[in-house]
Amino acid sequence: MQVSSQRRVNRAQCSNCTCSPGLLSRTNKRSSWFAKQINLKRNPQGSSLSRSGSRKGSVFTINAASLCLPDTQEVNTSQRLAKLRQVMAEYNLGIYIVPSEDQHQSEYVSAFDQKRSFISGFQGSAGVAIITRDVTSMNETPDGLAALSTDGRYFNQATNELDFNWTLLKQGGGNISWEDWTIKQAIQLSLDSGSKINIGVDPKLINYQLYEKINFKVNESLKRNPKAEIELVAIKDNLIEKIWGEFEEIPIKNFDKSISLLNNEFTGETVKSKLERIINYIKNDISSNGLIISSLDEIAWLLNLRGCDIEYNPVFYSYLIITDEGEINFFVDKTRFSDVKIEQYLLSNHISIKPYEEFWINLIEISKKFNLMNKKFSIIPNSNSWEIVRNLKCSWIPNLRSPIEDFKSIKNDVELQGARKAHLKDGRALIKFFSWLENELNNKIELIDECQANDQLTNFRKEEEHFVGLSFETISATGSNGAIIHYKPIRGNCSIIDPNNIYLNDSGSQFSEGTTDITRTFHFNKPTKDQCKNYTLVLKGNIALANLKFPENTTGNLIDSIARQHLWNYGLDYGHGTSHGIGSYLNVHEGPIGIGPRPNAATSFLKPGQIISNEPGYYEDDEYGIRIENVMIIKKSGYKYAGKNFLEFETITKVPFCHNLIDKSLLTRVEIDWINNYHSEIWNLYQHDFTKNSLEYNWLKRETSPL
């Protein structure tokens, strides 16, 4: 998140308010939000609310000043865009691209690297911003357009967060891609001005695969528009960094002594063994002499080290260069090691430690030596940046993906057992949480907002041994907020949980044993018939995928419809993938596997030992969201046909489904038996963890009772 001061604005300040004009234009939405807080009804007659946090016998009033801005920051991007366009003119740019990624191509990034969020105001983790400058404009403040492209997980969020300066480009569904939109704007600018238009981007922030894709599209477009002249150019000075400090304090990279060693009791394999596998791969499996590793989770896994440089992801900034002769150069700030023994541990495994900042100089030097020896590097186009390729002084060959990504995705027995243990711990915390939340809402008649619920869930997780932190920012969403697939509740500006509507909680933990990710959807009173139907259709899809047996060499795109089939029967669907890979005390989103309609799900076979999510959903805009997510281990089923082994899933998430939302009439006998067996297993696992007739015990007994 952005680091900036937050303040409460009162109504009298609005004449000079710094709120975004785009956000202010949504006054009706904000008024509607407050109305929802007022109109929470506990019974047919309704009830009043109190500032003390209870709904018992009091009158609830709102300070009109709070209608302007609770304790959050809203961004007016007009001045930011104007300043950026001035800098673009200095660099002779007609268009500037601002990606979401950092120089390691991370999915989630530190506050310092959230440059796209700064310029656009959009807080989602995925997307790209494109800013144009009218090169023919004679105005002191340059004109231009601004567009933000993101995928279906964030359409609602982007609509709410972008102000009037921005156009939302929705990825997928036959819409124009952001690359095509960018090139179209560049062509038009060139034709209008009769001059060359440069499209600039920080070459560290896009991978080489994306560079090639854009460059190809540029060349193809120029064939159709011979009078235009455009070029994609590398701008090593990041233009957002140049203007950021004029508008708010630039986040500081907090480099503390956070890099620690993960013991073999959790990893199941020594660093020596892992390095031998990689060096043998370089020697025997690819026609190159070295590998450049920039993906942070790959380095953390390979060296059995963990850090906390990116929130929720136990990784640390570093680079690694490995050659076929066993030379291993590790670029990291060694002053950040939590124990002096880590340096000796690395040196004993023949790993040379060099300053992180010296990576680029060493890359040039090593590649020059490779050139003299007629050697070449293997480059992973989707994880190595354009800047890495630009700095190579030797030949190189592309490799589909890093071998470490494949090795890392297949967990050993220790990691698999660790994942089971982690999910048992997480399940216990969630049972405590949902029983507590229901009691607070229905029996104590308390006001609990989405962030307070988050805090309580985290407290329950902290009670578990080897808890390190959360694996991503908890999605705690009541009512219509649940329809925003990656909803982010903001402290001071989030909703009170309405027990008369659906509540969705998507959350996860980092334990030393493993990483968890779970979504449960509950209704704490009487749901509508439609809500029950849609919940049950999602549940049927989850069970169908969990029960599936499939032949080896199957890719995730081939089985995606298994989870969607029951929704499709009613003309319904969801706008996100069904599954993603999960790390072992690493990133909660891990490649290379996935189940979904996107092309990346077709690039990798599902293999025994991989851990994957199962999360179909349904979202009724402005009403509610439903998602049911379990985590599964892929394993051999024991079946074989025509020489092919068949695989199956083992569900390791152990949290009950919502009895209240299940429409039994829509279930088959097989599905009912599966649910009953699943709930019986959960009951047997946890019943002795809670005092008999305690709140948790009674809730668990009720929610796991047979259908």
Does the pLDDT value for residue 32 go beyond 90? no
644 pLDDT band (50/70/90 cuts)?
Answer: very high
Mean pLDDT value across residues 138-144 = 84
Please check the confidence at residue 138 and state whether its pLDDT lies above 90: no
Q: What is the pLDDT of residue 287?
A: 77
We find that the CATH architecture of domain 413-698 is: Alpha-Beta Complex (3.90)
Residue 65 pLDDT class (50, 70, 90 cuts) = very low
- Concatenate the DSSP letters of all residues of 441-486 into one string: IIIS-B--BHHHHHHHHHHHHHTSTTEEEESS--EEEEGGGGGSTT
pLDDT at 451 > cutoff 80: yes
Mean pLDDT for the stretch of residues 310-319: 95
Question: CA-to-CA distance for 315 and 554, rounded, in angstroms?
Answer: 31
Averaged pLDDT for residues 174-180? 91
Length of the chain: 707
Q: Please say whether the beta carbons of 275 and 328 come within 8 A.
A: yes
Q: Does domain 260-408 have CATH number 1.10.287.1080?
A: no
* Residue range(s) in the chain whose domain bears CATH number 3.90.230.10: 413-698
Split at pLDDT 50, 70, 90, the class of 414 is very high
How does residue 400 score in pLDDT terms, banded at 50, 70 and 90? confident
pLDDT over 80 (residue 73): no
pLDDT of residue 389: 97
pLDDT at 56: 38
The per-residue pLDDT for 580 is: 97
pLDDT, tens digit (0-9, with 9 covering 90-100), for 533-552: 999 999 999 999 999 999 99
702 three-class SS: helix
Confidence of residue 74 (pLDDT cuts 50, 70, 90): low
Q: What is the mean pLDDT of residues 249-261?
A: 85
Q: So what's the pLDDT on residue 13?
A: 30
Average pLDDT along the chain: 89
- Which fold is adopted by the domain 77-244? Creatine Amidinohydrolase; Chain A, domain 1 (3.40.350)
Element (H, E) at 371: helix 359-372
Question: Of 164, 94, 178, whose CA–CA distance to 134 is shortest?
Answer: 94
Say what percent of the chain tops pLDDT 70: 89
19-23, 215-219, 668-672: segment of lowest average pLDDT: 19-23
pTM: 0.88
Per-residue pLDDT, 10: 28
* Helix boundaries (H) for 60-177: 77-90, 115-120, 155-161
Angle at 263 between CA 262 and CA 264, to 5 degrees: 125
Dihedrals phi, psi of 96, to nearest 5 degrees = -130, 130
Q: How much is the average pLDDT of 81-102?
A: 96
Does the pLDDT at position 43 exceed 60?
Answer: no
Predicted confidence band of residue 705 (pLDDT cuts 50, 70, 90): very high
Percent of the chain past pLDDT 90, that is, above it, reads 81
In this prediction, residue 18 carries a pLDDT of 28
Model confidence at 253: pLDDT above 80: no
Q: In this predicted structure, which of 49-58, 538-547, 569-578 has the lowest mean pLDDT?
A: 49-58
Element (H, E) at 231: strand 230-234
CA 129/CA 161 separation, integer angstroms? 13
d(CA 5, CA 386): 35
Query: What are 460-519's pLDDT values in tens digits?
Result: 999 999 999 999 999 999 999 999 998 989 898 899 999 999 999 999 999 999 999 999
> Residue 8: is its pLDDT beyond 70?
no
Q: Which pLDDT value is given to residue 153?
A: 83
Residue 390 to residue 232: CA distance in whole angstroms: 14
Which part of the chain has CATH 3.40.350.10? 77-244, 260-408
User: CA 584, CA 258: separation in Å to the nearest integer?
Assistant: 18
Which whole number is the average pLDDT over 632-648? 96
pLDDT at 75 (0 to 100): 65
